């Protein structure tokens, strides 16, 4: 008997699986890529304020909430046979428009929500500071957040991206898997030669690493794709990427920004 898996189920669970596979790839690579680290392995182990076991538990909790919300969202929006037929014949241009729309919606939602969680002292202390226990980011800590932040920032942001872009459940499989890979890459703590994300996106692992440092707390809120809102609203912190004498790289902000 053939086991058929619906697009809705794949759209719900494929990004969760992609998260652990892709982050696991970076964990393994990190053992052999010391010369491409943005922080040393010692800094990763000593500077972070949360254990990796607690990070895994936190991510699994957030993913459980995401799965429930996605299941409910697909159930409410539904899809009939005529729509599925149309989806299958959707042109590349239509899919590109949906992807770009979803990316812009997600970026806009997450920028303003993320920035507000920094500016509101209560929200930062009790909710967003959990994510900033990772002073030295690493791949599988990308979705380590307070459950409330995970719901407000990531889950609702994803739902709005899906609804406002008009993409189908099938298209969402690829979009949310791509967004997951991008988010993991931004937190991987590595600067690898030939990384396509670094070539096509200014918002990358070095850009987000600046935000995780104390001097970057008021800058580089944009995630996960573009940096437009940071540039438009004056929260963009340029940086230089320099080789450390001991090996690896360091993302250094411009001095005048750092001293503000």
Question: Considering the chain, what percentage of its residues have pLDDT values greater than 90?
Answer: 81
> What are the pLDDT digits (tens) for 124-179?
999 999 999 999 999 999 999 999 999 999 999 999 999 999 999 999 999 999 99
Query: What pLDDT shows up at residue 86?
Result: 46
Q: For residue 22, give Cα distances in angstroms to 63, 125, 180, 183, 239.
A: 15, 30, 9, 10, 27
Q: Rounded to whole angstroms, how far apart are CA atoms 12 and 156?
A: 14
Question: What's the mean pLDDT in 45-49?
Answer: 95
Question: Considering the chain, what percentage of its residues have pLDDT values greater than 70?
Answer: 92
> What are the pLDDT digits (tens) for 75-106?
998 754 444 444 555 689 999 999 999 999 99
- What's the full length of the chain, in residues? 260
Query: What pLDDT shows up at residue 215?
Result: 83
> What pTM was estimated for this model as a whole?
0.92
């Amino acid at each position: 008997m053939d086991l058929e898996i619906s697009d809705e189920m794949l759209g719900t669970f494929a990004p969760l699986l992609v998260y652990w596979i892709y982050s696991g790839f970076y964990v393994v690579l990190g053992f052999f890529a010391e010369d491409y680290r943005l922080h040393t392995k010692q800094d990763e182990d000593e500077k972070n304020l949360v254990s990796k076991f607690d990070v895994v538990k936190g991510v699994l909790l957030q993913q459980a909430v995401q799965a429930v919300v996605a299941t409910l969202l697909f159930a409410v929006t539904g899809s009939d046979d005529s729509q599925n037929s149309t989806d299958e014949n959707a042109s590349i241009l239509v899919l590109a428009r949906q992807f770009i729309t979803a990316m812009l919606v997600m970026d806009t939602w997450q920028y303003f929500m993320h920035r507000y969680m920094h500016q509101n002292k209560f929200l930062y202390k009790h909710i967003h500071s959990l994510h900033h226990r990772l002073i030295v980011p690493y791949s599988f800590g990308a979705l380590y957040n307070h459950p409330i932040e995970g719901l407000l920032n990531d889950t609702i942001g994803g739902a709005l991206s899906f609804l406002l872009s008009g993409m189908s459940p099938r298209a969402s499989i690829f979009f949310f898997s791509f967004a997951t890979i991008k988010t993991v890459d931004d937190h991987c703590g590595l600067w690898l030669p030939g990384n396509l994300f670094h070539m096509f996106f200014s918002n990358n692992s070095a850009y987000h690493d600046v935000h995780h440092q104390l001097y970057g707390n008021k800058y580089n809120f944009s995630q996960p794709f573009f940096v437009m809102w940071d540039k438009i609203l004056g929260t963009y912190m340029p940086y230089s990427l320099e080789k450390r004498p001991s090996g690896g790289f360091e993302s250094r902000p411009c001095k005048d920004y750092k001293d503000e």
